[in-house]
Chain A
Amino acid sequence: MIPAAFDYHAPTSLSEAVALLSKHGDTAKVLSGGQSLLPLLKLRLGQAGHLIDIGRIPGLEYIKEEGGMLRIGGRTRESALERSEVVRTRYPILLDTAQVIADPLVRNMATVGGNLAHGDPGNDHPATMLVLGAQVVATGPKAERVIPIDGFFVGLFTTALQPDEIVTEIRIPAPPARSGGAYVKFERKVGDYATAAAAAFVTLGASGLVERAGIALTNAGPKPVRSTAAEKLLTGRRPDAAALGEAARAAGQSATPSADRRGAADYKKEMAGVLALRALTKAVQRAGGR
């Protein structure tokens, strides 16, 4: 499989990259890790006149906790998340997520920014970022702007990014005390998109009741699904089996998956609920709730 011809640009600064994007408009695509984009081009399912490779712009790969936030550079490789000490110790939900994306070789190229910017509801980071209340920093011709994750995913393969914007950073609020998150994915094999997957993040109050809950699903609709109904059900309640079960069922109800080789819609919907329960249970455990 051979991609159709395109032109390639390797800017060495953000401003140069953004200028190239502005110049070439719709015919340009940002090449970050390339692990989704290049297969699309090879299969000739997608076309690009110009690839703007951001791989040579310094300062886009980092993971650091700063000002009450975890800051992840837009071009940070998934494998860097897996190996990051701060991620392993402070953000286990991010580790859960990174280590089930595609396969280990793909993760050495694939980037966190790319995973979000592709707008693929089958990608794993969106659900996790939704429950973490992340912010996406986009840099365009004017300046950078901060897009709250809840407004980032617009539709199937579409995000709030403008054609001339690049994801330069992802910001995640540092976890409060007594909080925990988990991402659980059910896949047919390593390298597959999720049949169903769920992210959960809970913060418990001093009394042991759920103060804040985040529940979101992967591959459960045209865009990543955040189940506010499930979150509401859980908030203010003791996170016992009954409460988690109710919330998980509500999460499953919020899924609108479509049938494919992974399963019929009804099966995937049920699986969304099953996976939501598993993610919630693990998240509560990590929050020290059980």
Chain B
Amino acid sequence: MKIDTTPEVSGMGHSMKRKEDPRFIRGKGNYVDDIQLPGMLYMDIVRSPFAHAKIKSINTEKALKIPGVLAVITGETLAKYNLHWMPTLMSDTQMVLPVEKVVYQSQEVAAVIATSRYIAADGVDAVEVDYEPLPVVVDPFKALEPGATVIRTDKKDKKDNHIFHWEVGDRAATEKAFAEAEVVVKQDCYIPRIHVASIETCGCIADFDRVNGKLTVYMTTQAPHAIRTVFALVAGHVGLSEERIRIISPDIGGGFGGKVPVYPGYVIATAASVVIGKPIKWIEDRMENLQADSFARDYWMKAELAAKKDGTITALRIKTLADHGCADAAANPSKFPAGLFSICTGSYDIKHAFAEVDGAYTNKPPGGVAYRCSFRVTEAVHMIERVTDILAQQLKMDPAELRLKNFIPKEKFPYQSALGWEYDSGDYARALKLAMERIGYPALRKEQAEKRARGELMGIGISSFTEIVGAGPSKHFDILGIKMFDSAEIRIHPTGKAIARFGTKSQGQGHETTYAQIIAEELGIPASAVQIEEGDTDTAPYGLGTYASRSTPTAGAAGAMAARKIREKAKKIAAHLLEVSPEDLVWETGKFSVRGAPQRSKTIQEIAFAAYTNHPQGMEAGLEAVCYYDPPNLTFPFGSYICVVDIDRGTGQVKIRRFMAVDDCGNIINPMIVDGQIHGGLSMGMAPALMEEISYDENGNVQGGSFMDYLVPTAMETPSWETDKTVTPSPHHPFGAKGVGESATVGAPPAIVNAVVDALSHLGVTHVEIPMTPERVWRILKEKGVAE
């Protein structure tokens, strides 16, 4: 990629050091729990030990006797204001606090308000709740059987646990293709429930000012504007009008989708602040975070792939059951109850495809997409990359060769997929070949053959994924009706410095740096002189927030487009200053000069000063612009990953020896930051492939609900990731970029699974479910008679 600016300006392509780091490395970040307001009270939450139970009574007497406990808020308290239910981001409903029954373990039952967090915790211990357990529905298949206990008895006409049916593609044509297929492979695959476990948990401080009726909420949220609107919709009837709601998202200690939903704790703290008239802080602990907050996956897929004997894939069919827990709170775009699962044809030129997804209620916490996953793309990629390998195995073809044979050729872009997407650009073969070259693929195959002869288990796995990010074109994408554009507002100061505000919210992605670089690229103002602000709904322009790898494709684009508006005005001012016509001016980084007379020029700094001191008559003073960018299409980043594993025949433990990731996210703003995103994404791909899982026993008791058993990898379990890249710009994005934050999380798991299956393929193994724990792998070794 060509770099057009100097390191001083640091536009696109510079590995500029991050502007946010000086505060973080000094311990001067400002996270929600760091904020203390005068007179602030603390909230702690009583949670249900049962997954499904009637609440017979809540006795708050003992708790209220503890000195320092000021109030206990229950569903009855909120019901007085009709605030005991709230909408989810999928237009379903969810309890804030129950009045009748609880529907998952660790559900919020009551909240204690006290003068310190220690006293609040004592108060929680002293609240007595009398439950009457109800039958529990844990298995989503059983949930849909006739006669199953109905969970959502609050919905008047609801007589079952079915949430939605969604399908896409040409069923008849796909069936025909399967009927005519020379080879068909099938695989069932379950992607378990997992949790983002950002190291900062969720929390808020709700501060209602009774004098002017203004509510300020400091909140761990990735989407502050959307939250403000939801608050206005939920609490408008009790007088919380949107102009009097200010959501501030300060520094966020990791989000990954877990900080998109509205959690009951936010609403209860807000209600408590309105009622009590004091700021209320609520910070959940880790167990609450893992046990009650939004999860991801829990997808039961059945896939079939049709092909010719020569390996040409002809059709794909997938049927899926999605376990959504007690409410559909998946935060998908509203037309897409299964998110962007229809990217399941992946990187391959498949003529016919059909996919269908059903959603089911169970007695588990609500959620569905909160794990760095681009709206169900992880599930889709896992499935297609698995069945592709199974096909290769069946045909005795090398999995790389089968992929190269079926990739959408680069000449076919923009490419219309069988399930309705227009892929913007790609060169899949180049990425895979680079990955193979970097890792030394033929030598590894040779080593594997030698090891296999000695009885050692080594595997090589490939994943060639296509991501779909940057929602999105507003004609297709909205959350609760709010279109998924995003925004930027740039103001150039008289001395040529700038402030820019965006509708997104960084949680570690480095927006303060990369957005400044975009503006530096477009205007030639050094990135160091561009201040970026996000997360305060009183000052930032409206936007849908940061998740699903959408910030660069949407808000980043908005920043570039707003800068270009500024450049247009700057041109007119420069023409005025140079006494030429605007058409006679040419732009090169940071200045306009007269065509044919480059010594006659005005820098952006001179122009900015003139905008406030010497602007042309008839022109408004100032130099600023706003852009609400509605992308014409999504962006389709891609990559090829190769993983090498060794399996311990004694314990079944899988060790990743090497992992080579070649990513293509189009033009790159900051290579250092992109590399960091890939490293983190790979780790969050590895974790569920090998270690992380939240499951439930038959009574709906959560398993893996603390860091004792929810196994977030340390530096010792994490391999030293190797990365490389190709650059295939997006043709429709203003500066040719694509989103990247989630690529690696999407692409990594099947590479690891394919490597493990590859290590065992000579034993007849064709599939291993995740997480591939030592025990799970060992049982296969035992069954195949190769356990040590």
Contact = CB atoms under 8 A, between A and B. Distances in A.
Contacts of A264: 775
Interface string B664-701: 00000000000000000000000000010000000000
Interface in A212-271: 261-264, 267, 270-271
A189 B775 contact: no
B118 A263 contact: no
Nearest to B718: A189
A274 B708 CA distance: 24
A1 B44 CA distance: 10
Nearest to B713: A189
Contact of A190 (B651, B653, B709, B717): B717
B714 A263 contact: no
A186 B653 contact: yes
A191 B650 contact: no
Interface string A40-74: 00001000000000000000000000000000000
Contacts of B411: none
B691 A274 contact: no
Contacts of A270: 778, 782, 787
| B interface SS class | loop
A274 B714 contact: no
Interface in B359-396: none
A186 B651 contact: yes
Interface string A72-107: 000000000000000000000000000000010000
B122 A261 contact: no
Contacts, number: 54
A92 B583 CA distance: 81
A240 to B, nearest CB: 17
A119 to B, nearest CB: 19
Given A188-B691, A195-B774, A1 B716 contact: no
B125 A4 contact: yes
Contacts of B716: 189-190
A271 B651 contact: yes
B704 A261 contact: yes
Contacts of B787: 270
A191 B117 contact: no
Contacts of B788: 274
B714 A189 contact: yes
Contacts of B653: 186
B788 to A, nearest CB: 7
Residue among A1, A2, A278 facing the most chain B CB atoms (10 A cut-off): A2
A189 B711 contact: yes
A186 B787 CA distance: 16
B121 interface: yes
A44 B711 contact: no
B125 A188 contact: no
Contacts of A4: 122, 125
A192 B717 CA distance: 12
Nearest to A1: B285
Contacts of A188: 691, 711, 773-774
B779 interface: yes
A39 to B, nearest CB: 9
Contacts of B118: 2
Given A188-B691, A261-B703, A274 B650 contact: yes
Contact of A189 (B287, B691, B703, B704): B691
Contacts of A262: 775
Contacts of B775: 262-264, 267
B691 A190 contact: no
Interface residues of B, number: 29
B285 A274 contact: no
Contacts of A192: 708, 711
A267 B778 contact: yes
Interface size class of A (residues with CB under 8 A): 20 to 34
A44 B691 contact: no
Interface in B750-787: 773-775, 778-779, 782, 787
A138 B653 CA distance: 40
A186 B691 CA distance: 14
Interface string A121-148: 0000000000000000000000000000
Contacts of A278: 650
B287 A274 contact: no
A23 to B, nearest CB: 26
Nearest to B778: A267
Interface string A1-29: 11011000000000000000000000000
A192 B122 CA distance: 29
Contacts of A263: 773-775
B291 to A, nearest CB: 13
A263 B771 CA distance: 13
Nearest to A260: B709
Contacts of B286: 1
A278 B653 CA distance: 15
Interface string B337-348: 000000000000
Contacts of A190: 714, 716-717
Interface in B109-135: 117-118, 121-122, 125
A245 to B, nearest CB: 10
Nearest to A263: B775
Given A1-B285, A190-B717, A274 B709 contact: no
A195 B709 CA distance: 12
Contacts of A267: 775, 778-779
Nearest to A2: B121
Interface string B264-290: 000000000000000000000111000
Nearest to B707: A191
A131 B536 CA distance: 62
A2 B117 contact: yes
A191 B709 contact: no
Contacts of B122: 2, 4-5
Nearest to B122: A4
Contacts of B703: 261
A5 B779 CA distance: 47
Nearest to A273: B650
B717 A189 contact: yes
A80 to B, nearest CB: 22
Residue among B121, B653, B708, B775 facing the most chain A CB atoms (10 A cut-off): B775
B709 A261 contact: yes
A178 B709 CA distance: 41
Contacts of A277: 650
A218 to B, nearest CB: 15
Nearest to A262: B775
A118 B439 CA distance: 48
A263 B652 CA distance: 12
B267 to A, nearest CB: 23
Contacts of B774: 186, 188, 195, 263
Contacts of A1: 121, 285-287
A264 B774 CA distance: 11
Nearest to A186: B651
Interface in B645-664: 650-651, 653
A69 B703 CA distance: 45
Interface string B161-186: 00000000000000000000000000
Residue among A5, A188, A195, A264 facing the most chain B CB atoms (10 A cut-off): A188
A191 B121 contact: no
7 contacts: A2-B118, A2-B122, A4-B122, A188-B773, A189-B691, A195-B651, A261-B704
Given A195-B651, A270-B782, 20 more contacts: A1-B285, A2-B117, A2-B121, A4-B122, A4-B125, A186-B651, A188-B691, A188-B711, A188-B774, A191-B714, A192-B708, A192-B711, A261-B704, A261-B709, A264-B775, A267-B775, A270-B787, A271-B651, A274-B788, A277-B650
Chain A to chain B: the 10 pairs with minimum beta-carbon distance, closest first: A2-B121, A274-B650, A263-B775, A261-B709, A190-B714, A190-B716, A267-B775, A2-B118, A1-B285, A189-B717
